[in-house]
Amino acid sequence: MEITEMYGQVLSGTVTDLNKEEAFVQIEGYTFALDLNELTEIPELGDEVAGFVYENQAHKNKMTTVLPFVTEGVWDFAEVTEVRTDLGVFVNVGLDDKDIVVSLDDLPLEHNEWPKKGDSVMVKLEIDHKGRLWGKLADIELYTQIARSPDSDLKSLMNKDEEGTVIAIRESGAFVMTDSYYMAFIYTDEQGQPLHIGQHIKARVIGSSHRRLNLSMKPRAYEEITPDAQMIVAVLEHSRDKKMPYTDKSDPDDIKEYFGISKGSFKRALGNLMKQGKIEQKDGYTYLK
């Protein structure tokens, strides 16, 4: 077996040498270094040891008994550690000294739709003919296979918030796999801002179609902050102790003089902010929470 055929496999070999930090395991004439701190006891020469073999970032042949959490047959979410527009994105699959690349061929043409550092993407390992390990990005079909149907749950889900991960971008919107394993879609005009693959989002359920939820990231009507409410928040943010001596009981003329709006507009703005939990009134003052 060529060494390039070994990479990415769990293989067994013979310990042929030791130093203070590593055991050297030979498999069909090729030697792999195994960190001794992975083992509960130091092996002896001639012992058989099994582990996952690969070439690390420094191009050193390594064996590890701590298996990566994604393999050729196992998919899982992996965190993005680096973005290289000329290569792709690197993800952490559980190897201490090697991150795996998801090729730019697997990613959108638009770089602003790529995952960013700290995002998570679902991948499995792929091994090419040169023995190089790659991260294969999951496609819509895979998510469809593992997704729950929302049909029977839609009544209880309506207008509730769902969190999830953006898994694909289309011209009309973005596909999302929710943390509850519902497939979902957010149309572009319901996003509020451009989204990218791997982004973790929070959105509310507004319906369903094609066995998936329809989500919206737009604020609910009562969550929208009016210009009057924005002005009040700005006053509180810049005031001492985050409070002001104006409440819904204040004199209309005082409100008009200080804020330039009617008492009715002032009360509506206060009510909007209190409903969102942004302010509270106490002892003749309004406080920013």
User: Do 227 and 274 have their domain in common?
Assistant: yes
User: Do 194 and 239 have their domain in common?
Assistant: no
Question: Quick one: pLDDT at residue 277?
Answer: 87
For the chain, the average pLDDT equals 93
The three-state secondary structure class of 120 is strand
Q: Order of strands across the sheet with 279-282?
A: 243-244, 285-288, 279-282
Q: Is residue 126 included in any domain, yes or no?
A: yes
> Any idea what the Cα angle at residue 139 is, between residues 135 and 140, rounded to 5°?
160
Residue closest to 134 by CA, chosen among 102, 105, 107:
102
Can you give the residue range of the structural domain that contains 234? 223-288
Q: Of 15, 44, 64, at which residue does a domain stop?
A: 64
User: What is the average per-residue pLDDT within 214-223?
Assistant: 79
User: What is the average per-residue pLDDT within 269-286?
Assistant: 91
Q: Is residue 184 included in any domain, yes or no?
A: yes
User: Do 279 and 246 have their domain in common?
Assistant: yes
CATH number at residue 172: 2.40.50.140
Q: Of 138, 156, 186, at which residue does a domain stop?
A: 138
Taken as a whole, the chain contains a residue count of 289
User: What is the average per-residue pLDDT within 83-106?
Assistant: 96
pLDDT in tens, 16-42: 999 999 999 999 999 999 999 999 999
For 247, other C-beta atoms within 10 Å of its C-beta total 17
User: Do 229 and 203 have their domain in common?
Assistant: no
When divided into structural domains, the chain yields a total of 4
Gap between the Cα atoms of 186 and 174, Å rounded: 5
